[in-house]
Amino acid sequence: MSSQEEGDDTLDELLKDRARIEELPDNDEDEEGGPPFPGKHLKSKPKKDLPAWMSSATLSLFHEDEQTPSTEVLAKTAAECPPYLTLEDTQGLPLNSHGLPHLRRNPHAEFLRSCLGDLPAPYAAMDASRPWLFYWCIAGQSFLGEDVSSYKDRLIETVRPLQNPGGGFGGGHGQYSHCACTYATILALTAVDGLEVVDRKAMWHWLGQVKQSNGGFRMAANAEQDIRGAYCALTILTLLNLPLTLPPDSPARLAGGLQTFTDGLGAWIATCQSYEGGIAGAPGNEVHGAYAFCALACLCILDAPYRSIPAYLDVPLLTRWLASMQTTPEGGFAGRPNKLVDACYSHWVGACFALLEAARPLEETQQHPAVLARKGGEGQGLWNKAALVRYLLTCAQQPGKKGGMRDKPSARPDGYHTCYSLSGLSAAQHRYWYDERSGTRGEEEEEEEESGGRLLSAFNWRGERGTAEEMRDLGVDEEDVVELVHPVFVLRFEAVEGARKRFAGGGV
């Protein structure tokens, strides 16, 4: 036998002995101290026994040593929430029969009441946002079932000086009228049945000044144009039942030849949807969860959602984008990709799903409401309602005597997050659907809508409290359940119905 043949035999024996699968040591390093096994940073790190939705379904694409300020903050947030989510730390909060913290109804209501009183000096920065404080605190209390009618006289006298002779409301005394501040003022007044203070004719003329020839709306005269302006303007027009015909001096009529407030609006909203599926504030800008709500709600005011939403938006793409905003391990929502969970998006994103549900073909949405929106517990439906409820009850509630709800455990409570956390809780706990057969509108209103004089679609929404079985699946007791919140106007249904009846006759 030649030396070459002997070498081949030796090699064959060596390969035979070594050609087997070997487990890597726990540290993923070579036995001789070599470099880490390729892809080590992609491996999921060992976790405690957590619900499936608390574990990420995707692997990190970045090496753990390659960190940025954004990834560091994401990691910090992901680390601070699990002790509360798993109830290792209940923060001293009383627990319900399912082991989750109770909704702190009374402390939250007291916190919102306190925000309508004397405020500390740092709140001077909120001077231009006074109407928002009114809305967050009054609407938030109503979501908890509180009677807010006692605020009526006080609110009317407070907002009266904010109303400008040319129409609309400013954020503070002597400030220009602004769509956002006017929207918040109208919602707050609607909540207490105090809309008689509004100069509707001046409001109609002012809204004509912010309507643009391309179909959209500015936030104020000569200010930026974005989707917020469109939603705010249509909400104001609808709740006050203002004429849809543009005033004679409207720039949109003079420069663009438009005739009504709704002309070109749907087409303009369509340009705000990006290739990702989300909605931007304006064409070409970054998409954001709150803008998605504004777009969907605006289209729901414009017409029946099963007609308006599919006509102007790529619904499957938007649905996918919104569903991807629910974060792990927290279970709440973020407003943009790769951003932090924030309790306010419980509303801005969570409330979108009822609107999307109504965008389905008419024959599907006309079933009994008990058939619709039934899913959504752990691992069911487009979004995980149980995960959101757990996040809000365990991470978003302020412990101690103060009350209020917060962005995340490391943040302070405020009226904004309290209001929208409660609205998001309502979106998770109850079912909402669009029903043209409701029969609550009078003949005069029907004729007015047919003649193009009033937008009535948004008044066709209905809600139904979740069943005992659904509440059990969500992990809540009766005292943890909030009120039904209108999915378009973000007010109690009773308040919205009051506005509809008040201005049923139309005119200015």
81 membership: H or E segment, kind and range: none
The full DSSP string for 239-274 is HTT--SBPPTT-HHHHHH---BTTTTHHHHHHTTB-
How confident is the chain (508 residues) per 10-residue block, as mean pLDDT? 54 54 49 51 50 67 74 85 94 95 98 94 91 98 98 98 98 95 99 98 98 97 96 98 96 94 98 97 97 99 97 97 94 94 98 96 58 47 93 96 95 97 98 81 56 82 94 96 98 98 87
pLDDT at 462: 97
259 CB burial (10 A radius; 0-12, 13-18, 19+): middle
Confirm if 123 and 412 have CB atoms less than 8 A apart.
no
Distance CA 115, CA 75 (A): 33
The count of C-alpha atoms lying within 13 angstroms of the C-alpha of 61, restricted to the half-sphere facing its C-beta, is 2
Distance CA 399, CA 244 (A): 48
pLDDT at 42: 47
Which tokens sit at 232? 């705010």
Distance CA 396, CA 419 (A): 12
423 CB burial (10 A radius; 0-12, 13-18, 19+): buried
Nearest to 406 by CA among 331, 356, 498, 343: 343
Nearest to 244 by CA among 298, 208, 195, 277: 208
Q: How far is CA 402 from CA 144, 489, 494, in A?
A: 16, 29, 29
Distance CA 183, CA 273 (A): 23
Catalytic residue annotation: 288, 336, 339, 342, 344-345, 407, 414, 417
- Tokens 């004429």 correspond to 243
Which tokens sit at 344? 């306010």
pLDDT at 436: 85
pLDDT at 61: 64
pLDDT at 370: 42
For the chain, which domains are there?
69-87+101-115+133-437+452-503 (1.50.10.20)
Between β-strands 431-434 and 461-464, what pairing exists: parallel, antiparallel or unpaired? antiparallel
Write down how long the chain is. Answer: 508
pLDDT at 147: 98
Q: Is 144 helix (H, G, I), strand (E, B) or coil?
A: coil
pLDDT at 463: 97
Which tokens sit at 453? 């004089």
